[in-house]
Amino acid sequence: MRIGITCYPTYGGSGVVATELGIELAAAGHEVHFISYSQPFRLSGRDDGIFYHEVPVSSYPLFEFPPYDLALASRMAEVAEFYELDLLHVHYAIPHSVSALLARQMLAARGRRLPFVTTLHGTDITLVGLDRSYLPITRFSIQESDGVTSISRYLKEKTIADFGVTRPIEVIPNFVNCDVYMPIKDEAARAAARSRLAKPDEAILIHLSNFRPVKRVADVVKVFAHVAREIPAQLVLVGDGPDRSAAEWLAHDLGIHARIHFLGKQDRVNELLPLADLMLMPSELESFGLAALEAMACKVPSIATRVGGVPELIDDGVTGLLFSVGNVDDMAAGAIQLLADPVRLQAMRVAARKTATTRFCSTKIVPQYVQYYESVLANAG
Ligand code: GMT
C-alpha cells in the first residue's frame, strides 16, 4: 500500500505513535509518505520506503494567522496525486482530519479517490475538540472520515458521548516496539549505566512527558520529595515544556534539586527507561498513557493515576499502582512500599514487561492498522 501519514511532528504521544507506525509499515514493505510542517522527530535519516514532504506555510501581511490547515490540504492532495497514495492516515483530529477531508474533495473533483483514516489520540477529543470554536468542525470531520480509530475504549466512548459521533470507531491501542524498548539483560551493564545517575544503593524514578499542565509535573516532584525522605533515590525527568521551570523552582524550594536530573528532550528514551525502578505518571488525564507502556516494555512499572484509558493498560497492583488525581501522599506511600519490597517490585517488573509483550507489541498492533486500512479501502466509494 502507499500510505500518507500526517501528525504533529514535535514531541507528543500522537506524533510518536504516527512516526513509529510509519517506520513499522515501511519495514513491512509499504510505502509511507509523511506530510507535515517539519520532519517528525523520531524519523532519523533516510529509511527505505519512507518519504517526507514538508508543508510550506507562507505568510502574508493580511494573515494574522497563516492558514496551515489549507496549506496542508493542498500538499496532501498533491502528494496523493503525484505518489498515487491509496489512503491518508491522520493522527490527532484537529486540524488534520479537516485538511484530509478537503484533500479528498479536491481529488474527487479530479476523478481520483483518496479515503482517509482519522486516529483520535487524546486532547483532540477531551480538551481542544470540546472548545466551542472547534467542536462543530471536529465532529464533522470525524463523522466524514472513511475510517476512525481511537487509542482506547475510554476515548471511543468519550467521542460518542461528547461529540454525538454515530459512525463506527475502531479501538486500536498504542503500541511499542518490544525489541527497541526492552530491559537491559546484562545486570553489570545496567549497573554501569545506572551509576551515571545514581549511587548503587539508590533507587531511580523516572518521568517522561511534554511537561504540559495535564501531566501534573509538580506532583511528580512532590511524590519524589516524599520518597526521597524515606529512601535513597534519584529522579530523572525526561522531556520539556511549559511546566518545566515551575518544576525546577519547586525542586529548589523543596531542597531536592540535587537529586533531580532534568534531562530535557532526549531522542533515545529507550536507553534511559530500563535504568529506572519506577515510572511516575500522575496525569490529570491520559487517554492511554504511551509513556507508561514504553516503561513497561523496559520492565518498569508505573505509579500512575486511575484516569481515562490508563486502567486499560495498567492492572492495578499487578503491573503498577493506580491512585486518584492529586493524591500525592498515597502515590508516595505506594512507591516507598514497592521500593522497600524487592520481591514484590520484581514480580511487578516481570508482569509489566509481560503485558507489554503479550498485548501491546508493534508486531501485534501494526497488523491491526493494516487490516483496518484494507477494510476502509474495500468500503470506500
Ligand atoms: O496529550 C495529548 O492529548 C496529545 C497526545 C499527543 O499528541 O501527545 O497524547 C495523547 O496521545 C498519546 C498517544 O496516543 C496517548 O498515549 C496519551 O495518553 C494522550 N494524552 C492524553 O490523553 C493527555
Query: Does residue 288's CB lie within 6 angstroms of at least one atom of ligand 1?
Result: yes
The percent helix, strand, coil of the chain (3-state, each to 5) is: 45, 15, 35
User: Residue 91: which residues within 8 A CB-CB, separation 6 or more?
Assistant: 5, 6, 7, 8, 14, 15, 17, 18, 119, 121
Q: At the fourth CATH level, which superfamily is domain 187-359?
A: Glycogen Phosphorylase B; (3.40.50.2000)
State the closest ligand 1 atom to the C-alpha of 285, by its place in the atom list counted from 1.
23
Please indicate whether residue 14, judged by its CB atom, sits closer than 6 Å to ligand 1: yes
Bridging pattern class, strands 116-120 and 87-91 = parallel
Ligand 1 atom closest to 14 (CA): 7
Closest approach atom of ligand 1 to CA 215: 23
Does residue 323's CB lie within 6 angstroms of at least one atom of ligand 1?
A: no
Nearest to 318 by CA among 350, 363, 366: 350
Model pLDDT, residue 123: 81
Shortest-distance atom of ligand 1 to CA 124: 3
Joined grid coordinates for residue 71: 496549506
- How many helical (H) and strand (E) elements, i.e. helices and strands, does the chain have? 15, 13
Cβ-contact 101, 116 below 8 angstroms = yes
Predicted local confidence at residue 381, as pLDDT: 66
Q: How far is the CA of 265 from the centre of ligand 1 (A)?
A: 17
> Under CATH, what is the fold of the domain 2-175+362-380?
Rossmann fold (3.40.50)
Is residue 305 within 6 Å of ligand 1 at its C-beta?
Answer: no
Does the fold of domain 187-359 match that of domain 2-175+362-380? yes
Decide whether any atom of ligand 1 lies within 6 Å of the 287 Cβ.
yes
The three three-digit cell numbers of residue 49, written as one number = 520506503
Query: E strand or H helix at 165, and its extent?
Result: none
Residue extents of the structural domains in the chain: 2-175+362-380, 187-359
- Nearest alpha carbon, ligand 1 atom 19: 122
Handedness of CA 47, 49, 54, 55 (dihedral sign): negative
CA dihedral 34, 36, 42, 46 (to 10 degrees): 50
Q: What is the pLDDT along the chain (381 residues), one digit of tens a residue?
A: 999 999 999 868 999 999 999 999 999 999 999 999 998 877 876 678 999 999 998 888 888 888 999 999 999 999 999 999 999 999 999 899 999 999 999 999 999 999 999 999 988 888 776 778 888 999 999 999 999 999 999 999 999 999 999 999 999 999 999 999 999 999 999 999 999 999 999 999 999 999 999 999 999 999 999 999 999 999 999 999 999 999 999 999 999 999 999 999 998 999 999 999 999 999 999 999 999 999 999 999 999 999 999 999 999 999 999 999 999 999 999 999 999 999 999 999 999 999 999 999 999 999 999 999 999 999 986
Q: Is 129 in the pocket of ligand 1 (CB under 6 A)?
A: no
Question: Measured from the CB, is residue 289 less than 6 Å from ligand 1?
Answer: yes
Specify the pLDDT at position 173.
98
> How many angstroms is it from 136 CA to the middle of ligand 1?
21
